[in-house]
Structure 1
């Protein structure tokens, strides 16, 4: 088995075990959101975590605010009779120390009205800083860039 040494221009590669852990983290995190569990989803952020979007003037800061804002958003979606599902893909992850990983991925959100057909609601590119804690991997900072927005 040969190994390749990255050149100085190549990003460091994340080992397979941590990559798998991060994929599992995202699967669990997004299923919490899709299940309407706002507080549990917010619990996947550090206590001082940040959730920023290019379509919002100010980021949400800290678990309490993230929980509050997401609870309102999920209630609005539920009241509209829609089911939303998040799909993450094209995950690139690079280590930035033993307990910090920076990720970049695409997220597509599908929505389906009761009795209707699924449609793409939103397409985004996301960048996260994930930290390993005693609780497992948590988001310290997330930036969601909605496609088609300046």
Structure 2
């Protein structure tokens, strides 16, 4: 909630700018994933990033692991005649004292049969820790995804 104090100090404008930057980051990142650009998508994570999803026994670690996992997933989708599209919304962006940014968002994954119908495939909560790379760009250092359909 923006307060009069936030407006006077410029904090609200900074928060709005950061929120817009994070939103653009996810738009770029998710489109890379959906276009099967595994190397470029993995480059939006730190070298030692972790990616935890409930369908895997252990988190995926590092960019090489991310490339392997997404390449395998895209091959499976192609063989099944499907495309997935990821939509990230309801971003709750919270700067941390250590300079990182905690982001909690809802992710909706749409599945489309090539030449056929589309449907909601999964509804998830995505919790990320974003950090700045050497060029000032945002990178995911840790991602934890939970699914609404799993206990």
Both structures adopt the same fold (TM-score exceeding 0.5) = yes
- Tell me by how many angstroms 1:78 deviates: 1.5
Residues 8-60 of structure 1: CA distance to partner in whole angstroms, max 9, x if unpaired?
xxxx9761111111100000000000101111111110000001012221000
Distance (Å, rounded) in 2 between the aligned partners of 1:98 and 1:49: 17
Runs (4+) of structure 1 exceeding 3 A deviation are none
Name the structure 1 match of 2:92: 92
Listed as ranges, the gaps of 5+ residues in structure 1 are 6-11
Paired position in structure 1 for 2:141:
140
Query: 1:15 aligns to what SS in structure 2?
Result: helix
- CA–CA distance in structure 1, aligned partners of residues 41 and 99 of structure 2: 21
1:9 aligned partner: none
Compute the displacement of 1:111 (Å).
Answer: 0.9
Q: Is residue 76 from structure 1 mapped to residue 76 from structure 2 by the alignment?
A: yes
Determine whether 1:58 maps to 2:58: yes
Q: CA RMSD in A?
A: 1.8
Residue aligned with 2:120, SS: strand
Aligned residues: 143
The DSSP-based 3-state class of the residue aligned with 1:56 is coil
Compute the TM-score of the two structures, normalised by the length of structure 2: 0.88
Normalised by the length of structure 1, the TM-score is 0.89
What are the Cα deviations for residues 103-145 of structure 1, in whole angstroms up to 9, with x where unaligned? 0000000011122111011110010000012240000000000
Distance 1:100 1:66 in 2: 21
Q: How does 1:117-132 map to 2 (within 5 A)?
A: 117-132=117-132
Higher helix share: 2
